[in-house]
Amino acid sequence: MALVPYEEGGGWGARQLHSPAATYRFASRTIRLRQDWRRLGVAAVVWDAAVVLCAYLEMGSTDLRDRSVIELGAGTGLLGIVATLLGARVTITDRAAALEFLESNVQANLPSELRPRAVVKELTWGKDLGNFPPGAFDFILGADIVYLEETFAELLQTLEHLCSEQTVILLSCRIRYERDHKFLKMLRGRFSVYEVHYDSSKDVHIYKAQRGSCKDDF
């Protein structure tokens, strides 16, 4: 996730975001994550989109066992941690300023035998692509990474670099603003995209994208 301020109202949701920790239960394990809103902003709190995508993966419709996975904008690391617990080999990425925080959450929540299957690595969209082999991943995961219009072109460039013909992209997000629809239209121009899940309680959509003929599902 980009390290920027985020517009958020008061009430319970704001208190949850500003809490120093968050606890979840996935893959038969309790996951306790540090949060640090004051220091890192949106990169250091758990958003609903990550929780919904974790639950979707845990349902088993997507088999991650021994698959190569990369997470973009990992933030607290919840999604990458869960993917590792579900059997994947995961590269968990974010910008440099978030890596120490991210690494601490990953190390604290993976059993020692699984830690070699999760690698935390710097990735600034559109800039560090030479450090990642093109088309090397079976799955690309992203939770609530679509909200800054100035990053859309770099995010799409990154997705195209990382994708092979077989790669599956799973993006979870809320559709808050007109710019979110703009990104989906841009994504649809490069990939075949369709919605695979909607959580009405959290108003979170999960989209699946792959190379190939494009579908007009928006």
**pLDDT band at residue 41 under the 50/70/90 scheme:** low
Q: Which two tokens stand for residue 171?
A: 């993006």
Q: What is the mean pLDDT of residues 50-64?
A: 94
Q: Which tokens go with 99?
A: 């890596």
Express each pLDDT in 62-118 by its tens digit.
Answer: 999 999 999 999 989 999 999 999 999 999 999 998 899 899 999 999 999 999 999
Segment 111-127 shows an average pLDDT of 96
Identify the sign of the CA torsion 80, 39, 205, 58: positive
Q: What is the mean pLDDT of residues 7-33?
A: 70
CA distances from 173 to 100, 141, 147, 167 (A): 25, 11, 9, 20
| Res 43: pLDDT | 56
d(CA 76, CA 64): 20
**Two tokens at 95?**
């910008």
pLDDT at residue 149 tops 70: yes
Statement: residue 37 has pLDDT above 60 = no
Burial of 21 (0-12, 13-18, 19+ CB in 10 A): exposed
- The end-to-end CA distance of the chain, in Å, is 24
Tell me the average pLDDT of the chain. 87
Report the pLDDT value the prediction gives residue 42, as an integer from 0 to 100. Answer: 58
What's the pLDDT tens digit per position in 174-216?
Answer: 988 899 999 999 999 999 999 999 999 999 999 999 997 544 4
Q: What is the pLDDT of residue 176?
A: 83
pLDDT, mean of residues 109-137: 95
Position 39 pLDDT exceeds 70:
no
Confidence of residue 34 (pLDDT cuts 50, 70, 90): confident
CB 49 within 8 A of CB 144: yes
Scanning the chain, the segments in alpha helix (DSSP H) are 12-18, 37-40, 48-58, 78-85, 99-109, 152-162, 178-188
Phi, psi of 146 (to 5 degrees): -105, 90
Write out 91-155 in H/E/C secondary structure.
Answer: EEEECHHHHHHHHHHHHHHCCCCCHHHEEEEECCCCCCHHHCCCCCCCEEEEECCCCCHHHHHHH
